[in-house]
A and B are shown apart, each in its own frame.
Chain A
Amino acid sequence: MALEGKVVGRNVRKVDGLALACGRPKFTLDLDLPGALVGKILRSPYAHARILRIDTSRAEAVPGVACILHHGNVDRVPYTTAGQGWPEPSPYDNFLFDRKVRFVGDRVAAVAAETEEAAREALRLIEVDYEVLPAVLSPEEALAAGAPAIHDEDDAEGIYDAQHNIAAAVDIPVGDIERGFAESDVIVEASCEIPYSQHVALEPHCVIAYFDEDGRLVLRTSTQVPFHVRRIVARVVGLPMEKIRVVKPRIGGGFGSKQEVILEPVAAALALRAGRPVVMALDRAEVFTATRTRHPMRVRVKLGAKKDGTLHAIEMEALSNTGAYGAHSLTVLSNTGSKTLPLYNKAPHLWFHGKAVYTNLPVAGAYRGYGATQGYFALEVAMDMLAERLGMDPIELRLVNHIRAGETSPIFEKIGEGREGKPQTVKSCALEECLRVGAEKIGWREKRARRRREGSWAYGVGMSVSMQGSGITGIDMAAATIMMNENGSFRLLVGATDIGTGSDTVLAQIAAEVLGVPVERISVYSSDTDFTPFDTGAYASSTTYVSGMAVLRAARKVREAILEVAAGMLAEPPEDLELAEERVTSKKTGKSVTLSEVGHRATYVVDQRHIIASASFVPEESPPPFAAFFCEVAVDTETGVVRVERFVAAADCGVAIHPKLAAGQLEGAIVQGIGHALSEELLFSEKGRCTNANLFDYRIPSALDVPALEVVLVDSEEPSGPLGAKSIAEVGINGPLPAISNAIYHAVGVRLTRAPFTPARVLAALRG
């Protein structure tokens, strides 16, 4: 049931908006800790090498150096940096420091010193002898016979086939794919490739490690996953979990890159060794090369369809480059199929298979879209090819094939989070309406029928569709605690992680709606492993849906407790009372008490108790949001320059709790997707060194690059979600790559299948 929301569905003021606008010190490094040491990391200059000798004696002699850590003086504990739920699906192929380095930028040693100058000087004076090994710089080289094994250590765990550099592999057959293609009237095939790209969150990875008055380790860190940080750091540094507290202040963007536990174990180890607080912050070059990137991937999609356009067989093959370590290697690969194939559930014959392979390049990890972005590029280009072969309108082809409410796909059950999934029936889907609205707004019919040409500029329109999920079925868990203050206001404590998405506001709205108060009466605190209840974190499009359900449940419990107290005050049974506008009112007599009076009575007067409740939520399903994307591009046929002139997206995220924030998520994802399509790519030298690890050379779109962009939230209602909501965070990034590629094809008749579509690539394609 959708609420006639007093709070929900409205663009209330963000709970942290004023503080952010005023520049208040909310971020990780805004805490000034007197006496803190500065931590710095020595990084490998080689893509693949064995450390033969490491001598820190000269570095230790630098005045102000407190300690230096390297493989020779720390415990060797295999772990994964991927901050995921337990059991962790990524291989344990990381060590705090290893005897081997596997990419340019890999950790060799870390220094803590009184000043940054002393730390840098110490880094300079650490002597390391390397035995340089042959480097593997592409997935093809990694799989070639006789390729050097990147993970030849014998104590890594969970690698699919270390000897052949395969971190993870999937092979999911449904039906009989060969028969499926044999029975198809039309077959098309597309192979699309996405290169290395980086999230470029405004705030770099940073952490402050210090000790509280009882000597417990506190990590104040820029993370999406505070509770996973606590678990992983405990494992790596050998502390009991209760001796660690992780504080997540306000985060300056993550997009998946901070679902990784990269700096925290190093800062923790340095602080423990030195017995002093340690501050660490990466510079932009380190963020580019030594945090995480999107998994570069080549995805081949083969579609078989009947003459009427009904898909009959889909094969998807993915070759994913996980870089030097296998963070998210299996789950990103799995998502490439699991978040794409259910969209076209009419095909009875499916085969999804692929490998994630190690290379001596930067480490890939979670990045908004999480494999689906890679999968949709190929799938939606292939759908465009199929529509052309069938002589069908691309929208019509989607309408024939896309999943509807009440339908299912075998893929839901076949592919889960690194293991089998769960069966699921889609309960809400407004994609048909999204397609209609989007097509109308872009002027699809007219523009599609008549191509425009002005001099050397050719214009075209293209489209794509996508879905994602809302949290991870059976694994994600969120909890929330709500307490009433004696004046009738509330505190909402959540482990959920607002990383800039506005989830603190969204969760406050859900609580406020149920508790009959304006958002201003709710103070939100997120998140602190000591003081807020557990939450797996901000990833997999989970916060509104999963954490929102926990808040909804907790709010309902608190509401019940309030009604119980008020029942005593009004001498009526709770079922005859209603809670709205900060009052409990008798439906019969119209008499009322204020929430302030209820709070005061419960706290001080009669039968005193704290009105407080906690609740947890584990999703039994992951309802997909849907979106349709339309764009108009201009292609300069003489130079290959592509301009996105207009972009329209219509999305179904269920009930939008805060429409402006939801639209903002969609807009941001689309602009990021345009960056993928037109300019973003990390480049590497022949020796595996990144040559454009800065914002001058690596081009992300700025506000000035945003085309005429229109996003529409199409109404639907997700019965399993909080007040009808499902997710919106990721679905938007899947659309731009294929929509822009398809629009270029419409404009000039060439298929761009390797991102980004730079002037050189487009011109080369045009010149054949």
Chain B
Amino acid sequence: MRLKIKRFHYARDVEEALSLLSAYRGRGAILAGGLDLARSFNPKLEGLIDISGLGLSYVHEQDGGLRIGATTTLTEVLESRAAREYLGGFLAEVVGQVANPPLRNQATFGGAVASAHPWADLPTALVAVGAEVRWVDQEGEHRARVEELWQGEFRRLLSSAVITEIFLPPWEGAFAFGKLSRNVGDIALLNCACGLGIEDGKVAWARVALGATPRRGRRLLWLEDLLTGEAPGEELWQVVREQVEANVEVGADRRASAAWRRAAAGPLLARTLARAAEKATARQR
């Protein structure tokens, strides 16, 4: 694909980025890590607006939650102490499995939210923890849970906006992430993020998201209901295996068949839940 870029802008602030974006009327794009621009380049693009100078590369802890600036690279997230400590290392566990180091040096957290590829790992994790996206457009500042955002026409919405921050809320329990892929650095054939709160030896709450099904990660509310109030343990995980194989909604793409996804989803979820339960129980102690 040939670039027809005529102008390259370093935006000085969000307002400038937005006004430039607006002036291009669809022929301009925000550039952060640039991976998706390079992967599926829009030949109509004439201008690129670099937002790396907006001061949006940071990771801050806030009341047990995490504020991550949109242009923070995945490597910066991995290297940040706050991110490594968030939910007992859950975020680092996820990010460490995304692609490979050179790509993580380039990919940004905001970019992952904006592209929200169905096969990607971060969306599944962000849905599970109930992350919130904050963005600015001509009408002002907005925020929404990723789940809600991705259910709507988010690409159209974000095409005239600048994502500024992603907020990951605090949780009392623990989360674990599971992924099946063909090799290291590959996208997921199936991934999941599972969070559990354990009180008095029972599941007090559950947050379970399954992704790359091949659809984007979404919560399995029925499974969360099934888990709540039950005692974590091999017996429960066996129920999870069986119920998931019987009820999960999966499809086929060129990477994996629906039959395999159906068979593998149960074990993947059961193991990831078991790890989450172990961590949650340990945290409780």
In the complex, whether A153 has a CB less than 8 A from a CB of chain B is no
Nearest opposing residue in chain B for A117, CB measure: B2
Q: Mark A255-267, 1 if CB is under 8 A from B, else 0.
A: 0000000000000
Q: Contact: B2 with A699, CB < 8 Å? A: no
Task: Specify which chain B residues have a CB less than 8 angstroms from the CB of A129 in the assembled complex.
Answer: none
Contact check: which of A120, A697, A705 meets B2 at CB < 8 Å? A120
Q: Contact: A699 with B267, CB < 8 Å? A: no
Nearest opposing residue in chain B for A758, CB measure: B182
In the complex, whether B144 has a CB less than 8 A from a CB of chain A is no
Q: Contact: A691 with B182, CB < 8 Å? A: no
In the complex, whether A678 has a CB less than 8 A from a CB of chain B is yes
Report the separation of the CA atoms of residues A760 and B258 in the bound assembly, to the nearest whole angstrom: 10
Task: Specify which chain B residues have a CB less than 8 angstroms from the CB of A764 in the assembled complex.
Answer: 259-260
Q: Contact: B182 with A639, CB < 8 Å? A: no
Nearest opposing residue in chain B for A456, CB measure: B267
Q: Mark A660-694, 1 if CB is under 8 A from B, else 0.
A: 00000000000000000011000100000001100
Q: Contact: B182 with A760, CB < 8 Å? A: no
Q: Contact: B189 with A759, CB < 8 Å? A: yes
Contact check: which of A456, A679, A767 meets B263 at CB < 8 Å? A767
Report the separation of the CA atoms of residues A326 and B182 in the bound assembly, to the nearest whole angstrom: 32
Report the separation of the CA atoms of residues A683 and B252 in the bound assembly, to the nearest whole angstrom: 14
Nearest opposing residue in chain A for B241, CB measure: A638
Task: Specify which chain A residues have a CB less than 8 angstroms from the CB of B256 in the assembled complex.
Answer: 759-760
Task: Specify which chain B residues have a CB less than 8 angstroms from the CB of A640 in the assembled complex.
Answer: 260, 264
Report the separation of the CA atoms of residues A763 and B2 in the bound assembly, to the nearest whole angstrom: 42
Q: Which of B252-281 contact A (CB under 8 A)?
A: 254-257, 259-260, 263-264, 266-268, 271
Q: Contact: A759 with B264, CB < 8 Å? A: yes
Q: Contact: A678 with B263, CB < 8 Å? A: no
Measured CB to CB, the closest approach of chain A to B258, in angstroms, equals: 10
Given A120-B2, A759-B264, CB of A699 within 8 Å of CB of B254? no
Nearest opposing residue in chain B for A674, CB measure: B183
Given A120-B2, A683-B254, A692-B254, CB of A699 within 8 Å of CB of B268? no
Q: Contact: A704 with B254, CB < 8 Å? A: no
Given A117-B2, A640-B264, A759-B264, CB of A705 within 8 Å of CB of B257? no
Task: Specify which chain B residues have a CB less than 8 angstroms from the CB of A638 in the assembled complex.
Answer: 241, 264, 266-267
Q: Mark B173-185, 1 if CB is under 8 A from A, else 0.
A: 0000000101111
Measured CB to CB, the closest approach of chain A to B171, in angstroms, equals: 27
Q: Mark B198-235, 1 if CB is under 8 A from A, else 0.
A: 00000000000000000000000000000000000000
Report the separation of the CA atoms of residues A636 and B263 in the bound assembly, to the nearest whole angstrom: 12
Q: Contact: A639 with B267, CB < 8 Å? A: yes
Nearest opposing residue in chain B for A639, CB measure: B264
Report the separation of the CA atoms of residues A192 and B119 in the bound assembly, to the nearest whole angstrom: 32
Q: How many A-B residue pairs have CB under 8 A?
A: 62
Q: Contact: B267 with A679, CB < 8 Å? A: no
Report the separation of the CA atoms of residues A486 and B35 in the bound assembly, to the nearest whole angstrom: 55
Measured CB to CB, the closest approach of chain B to A755, in angstroms, equals: 13
In the complex, whether B80 has a CB less than 8 A from a CB of chain A is no
In the complex, whether A45 has a CB less than 8 A from a CB of chain B is no
Measured CB to CB, the closest approach of chain A to B168, in angstroms, equals: 27
In the complex, whether A641 has a CB less than 8 A from a CB of chain B is yes
Measured CB to CB, the closest approach of chain B to A176, in angstroms, equals: 46
In the complex, whether B243 has a CB less than 8 A from a CB of chain A is no
Contact check: which of A456, A701, A760 meets B260 at CB < 8 Å? A760
In the complex, whether B148 has a CB less than 8 A from a CB of chain A is no
In the complex, whether B186 has a CB less than 8 A from a CB of chain A is yes
Task: Specify which chain B residues have a CB less than 8 angstroms from the CB of A759 in the assembled complex.
Answer: 180, 182, 189, 256, 260, 264
Q: Which of A632-664 contact B (CB under 8 A)?
A: 636, 638-641
In the complex, whether A589 has a CB less than 8 A from a CB of chain B is no
Measured CB to CB, the closest approach of chain A to B218, in angstroms, equals: 21
In the complex, whether B100 has a CB less than 8 A from a CB of chain A is yes
Task: Specify which chain B residues have a CB less than 8 angstroms from the CB of A767 in the assembled complex.
Answer: 263
Given A692-B254, A760-B256, A760-B260, CB of A702 within 8 Å of CB of B267? no
Contact check: which of A639, A678, A683 meets B268 at CB < 8 Å? A639
In the complex, whether A116 has a CB less than 8 A from a CB of chain B is yes
Task: Specify which chain B residues have a CB less than 8 angstroms from the CB of A679 in the assembled complex.
Answer: 182-183, 186
Q: Contact: B100 with A699, CB < 8 Å? A: no
Task: Specify which chain A residues have a CB less than 8 angstroms from the CB of B187 in the assembled complex.
Answer: 696
Measured CB to CB, the closest approach of chain A to B1, in angstroms, equals: 9
Measured CB to CB, the closest approach of chain B to A561, in angstroms, equals: 52
Q: Mark A754-768, 1 if CB is under 8 A from B, else 0.
A: 000011100110010
**5 pairs across A/B with beta carbons < 8 Å?**
A638-B241, A678-B183, A696-B187, A702-B184, A760-B256
The 10 lowest CB-CB distance pairs between A and B, nearest first, are A638-B267, A760-B260, A704-B184, A639-B264, A679-B182, A705-B183, A699-B182, A705-B184, A699-B183, A679-B183
Instruction: Supply 5 further A-B pairs (C-beta < 8 A) apart from A456-B267, A760-B257.
Output: A116-B2, A120-B2, A639-B180, A679-B183, A758-B182
